[in-house]
Amino acid sequence: MSGILLSYPRCGNSWLRFCVEAISKKPTSPNNTYIQEMRNFIRIDSQESVLEKAHTLFEFGIDGLTYKQNKTVYHNTKLILLLRNYKECIMRQNNNYEDSILPKQKRFNYMENIIEFETWPKENGLVVYYEDLIVNPKTVLKQCIDFLKLNGDGIDEFIDKHDHYKQKSIEVYDKLMGSSSKGKDLSFHSDKKSKEFLKQWDNKIKEKHLDMFNKYLIRYEEK
């Protein structure tokens, strides 16, 4: 079973998958139009997927075995939890947020992913922050490649071309899904809101998940 890349939508899952593919020259899955188009700029030398995308483990399945049916089997799999500022990605994913504090998330749930990650064996789990991936790509990508036990010889070549790949990614993403920030702002959506409004988001999560907030999300708390 390949590794799993778990994230809430709009957290950079496809970009991290592409980075792993470009460095390791191995595919991730499932195929989508973004990944297929981005592969025009790199070389893939294998057909065996090394990383499976998931937005929730409860809709996830490998070889007919669902996570809910046998969590123990899945716990032997490498799991990368990709987190992004919840105020940014939830606002982007849910269009009707203008007057809502943490709008009801219909299909995917941000905190659910963290809750399930907490049950994972520590040696098989890695937390990656989207903001770190953007600001310090070499360090974060080396960490991911080493964690997945992939060949990282291509990382320096990738970093040399990083800005080129990033621009191509923005162009492809904008064409397929529409990019609001064009990759220029890590807090494009939440910056439109007042500090008071955003603090209410923090408080609502802390009310239910204080321990996990302090462990995983404290960096996103409004000052």
Which residue shows structure tokens 């220029």? 184
Own/partner pairs, 100-109, CB within 8 angstroms, 24+ separation: 101/197, 101/200, 101/201, 101/204, 102/201, 102/204, 102/205, 107/55, 107/56, 108/8, 108/9, 108/55, 108/56, 109/8, 109/56
Q: Does residue 11 contact residue 59 with C-beta atoms inside 8 Å?
A: no
* pLDDT score recorded for residue 61: 74
The domain total for the chain is 1
CB count within 10 Å of CB 38 equals: 22
* pLDDT score recorded for residue 99: 53
Integer Cα distance of 133 and 210 in angstroms: 25
* Cα radius of gyration (the chain): 17
* pLDDT score recorded for residue 189: 79
CATH at 188: 3.40.50.300
Integer Cα distance of 9 and 176 in angstroms: 15
Question: In the sheet where 125-129 sits, what is the strand order?
Answer: 51-54, 3-7, 79-83, 125-129
Q: What confidence tens digit (pLDDT) does each residue in 85-138 have? A: 998 988 877 664 555 556 556 667 899 999 999 999 999 999 999 999 999 999
- Residue-range definition of the domain harbouring residue 81: 3-220
* pLDDT score recorded for residue 66: 86
User: Is this structure's pTM higher than 0.85?
Assistant: yes
* pLDDT score recorded for residue 96: 47
Q: What average pLDDT values come out for the chain (223 residues) when binned by 10 residues?
A: 89 96 96 94 94 90 79 91 93 63 67 95 97 97 97 96 95 80 73 88 93 97 92
Q: Does residue 190 contact residue 90 with C-beta atoms inside 8 Å?
A: no
